[in-house]
């Protein structure tokens, strides 16, 4: 019984950690239109005497999405945690046209040739700002960014990543392991690592000659991570990093996602610790950054979207 009570108390503490302070209504401004009641996903508002009030329902669980504040024509909401922030008005005229967005999405390319100059912190902050409004499960906003803004530190990271990759990838060439994977019906799982094993070995050799094929001598890198317990947050992290890459493109900064660093960070504690990423976090993406030393002028073809209409 004591264990049960302890478990429940621990669970309550975790749940309380998720609870957010709901927005406050400004009764003098509320016109009683009821839009907040309609849009609130947690259904925390009710109309009483033609005014919106927060219901006393103890199961109400405000996720702090701000939809009440965003929808209210009268500006009758204030976020007590952001009192000093005047909510920005949406300017529809400033939104890009669909063709412009499609051009950005199609024209961005992975950049693997960087100029050596650093990317200033202000520019990196602008890039990360593009990820801040990413949708997250339950609006938890639990996306963490780790930034390395020195080429030397990226090289030090690579010095840890390369031997680790060589070790795990060589397993994919072990005949006994391959037979085991075949017998257990998992051979396909090992195909990509097996393909990469000789490439990674070659990259290691090139590195000895001063040629960096892992991170392309990039002057900066961003990693995104989140708590392991939050399954949907992986989607949020990936989406945020992708948004960052699009903003980088518009700011003239080239990027390349980096599966090597991403994977090694999750499976090697030494690397995770070196990066200062908490052990209970999972990395969901890494991306090198730098000013491009090349310019693309055409959009390469891609396969048609694999759509299954039902």
Ligand X SMILES: Cc1cc2nc3c(=O)[nH]c(=O)nc-3n(C[C@H](O)[C@H](O)[C@H](O)COP(=O)(O)O)c2cc1C
The stretch near ligand X (CB under 6 A) out of 4-12, 20-28, 95-103, 255-263 is: 255-263
Residue nearest to ligand X (CB): 259
Q: Which is nearer to ligand X, 77 or 216 (CB)?
A: 216
Span 279-298, contacts to ligand X by CB under 6 A: none
Which three-class secondary structure state does DSSP give residue 204? helix
Q: How far apart are the C-alpha atoms of 147 and 128, rounded to whole Å?
A: 10
Instruction: Pick from 64, 67, 112, 281 the residue near ligand X by CB under 6 A.
Output: 112
Dihedral sign of CA atoms 261, 262, 265, 268 in order: negative
CB 144 within 8 A of CB 225: yes
Per the listing, tokens 């478990």 go with 7
Q: Which is nearer to ligand X, 198 or 259 (CB)?
A: 259
DSSP string for residues in 260-280: HHHHHHHH-HHHHHHHT--TT
37: DSSP letter: H
* Rounded least distance, CB 310 to ligand X, Å: 27
Q: Which is nearer to ligand X, 10 or 195 (CB)?
A: 195
- Is residue 235 near ligand X by the rule CB under 6 A? no
Q: How far apart are the first and last CA of the chain?
A: 50
How far, rounded to the nearest angstrom, does the alpha carbon of residue 237 sit from its chain's CA centroid?
A: 2
Q: Which is nearer to ligand X, 8 or 299 (CB)?
A: 299
Q: How many residues does the chain have?
A: 310
Q: Which is nearer to ligand X, 77 or 260 (CB)?
A: 260
The stretch near ligand X (CB under 6 A) out of 15-23, 60-68, 168-176, 252-260 is: 252-260
- Is residue 110 near ligand X by the rule CB under 6 A? yes
How far, rounded to the nearest angstrom, does the alpha carbon of residue 139 sit from its chain's CA centroid?
A: 13
- Is residue 109 near ligand X by the rule CB under 6 A? yes
The stretch near ligand X (CB under 6 A) out of 12-20, 106-114, 199-207, 246-254 is: 106-114
Q: What residue ranges bind ligand X (CB under 6 A)?
A: 109-110, 112, 256-260
């Amino acid at each position: 019984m004591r264990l049960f009570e302890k478990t429940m108390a621990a669970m309550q503490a975790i749940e309380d950690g998720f609870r957010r302070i709901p927005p406050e209504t400004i009764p003098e401004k509320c016109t009683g239109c009821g839009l907040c009641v309609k849009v609130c996903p947690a259904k925390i508002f009710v109309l009483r005497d033609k005014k919106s009030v927060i219901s006393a329902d103890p199961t109400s669980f405000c996720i702090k999405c701000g939809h009440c504040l965003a929808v209210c024509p009268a500006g009758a909401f204030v976020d007590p945690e952001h009192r000093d922030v005047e909510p920005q008005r949406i300017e529809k005229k400033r939104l890009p046209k669909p063709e412009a967005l499609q051009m950005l999405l199609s024209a961005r390319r992975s950049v693997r040739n960087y100029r050596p100059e650093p990317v200033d912190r202000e520019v990196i902050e602008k890039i990360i700002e593009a990820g801040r409004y990413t949708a997250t499960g339950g609006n938890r906003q639990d996306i963490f960014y780790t930034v390395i803004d020195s080429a030397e530190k990226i090289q030090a990271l690579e010095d840890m990543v390369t031997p680790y990759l060589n070790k795990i990838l060589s397993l994919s060439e072990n005949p006994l392991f391959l037979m085991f994977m075949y017998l257990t019906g998992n051979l396909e799982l090992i195909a990509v690592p097996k393909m990469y094993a000789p490439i990674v070995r070659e990259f290691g050799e090139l590195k000895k000659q001063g040629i960096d094929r892992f991170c392309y001598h990039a002057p900066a890198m961003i990693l995104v991570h989140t708590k392991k317990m939050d399954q949907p947050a992986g989607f949020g992290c990936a989406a945020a990093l992708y948004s960052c890459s699009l903003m980088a493109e518009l700011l003239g900064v080239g990027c390349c996602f980096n599966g090597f660093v991403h994977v090694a960070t999750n499976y090697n504690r030494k690397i995770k610790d070196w990066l200062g990423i908490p052990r209970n976090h999972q990395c969901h993406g890494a991306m090198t950054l730098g000013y491009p030393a090349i310019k693309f002028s055409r959009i390469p073809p891609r396969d048609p979207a694999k759509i299954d209409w039902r």
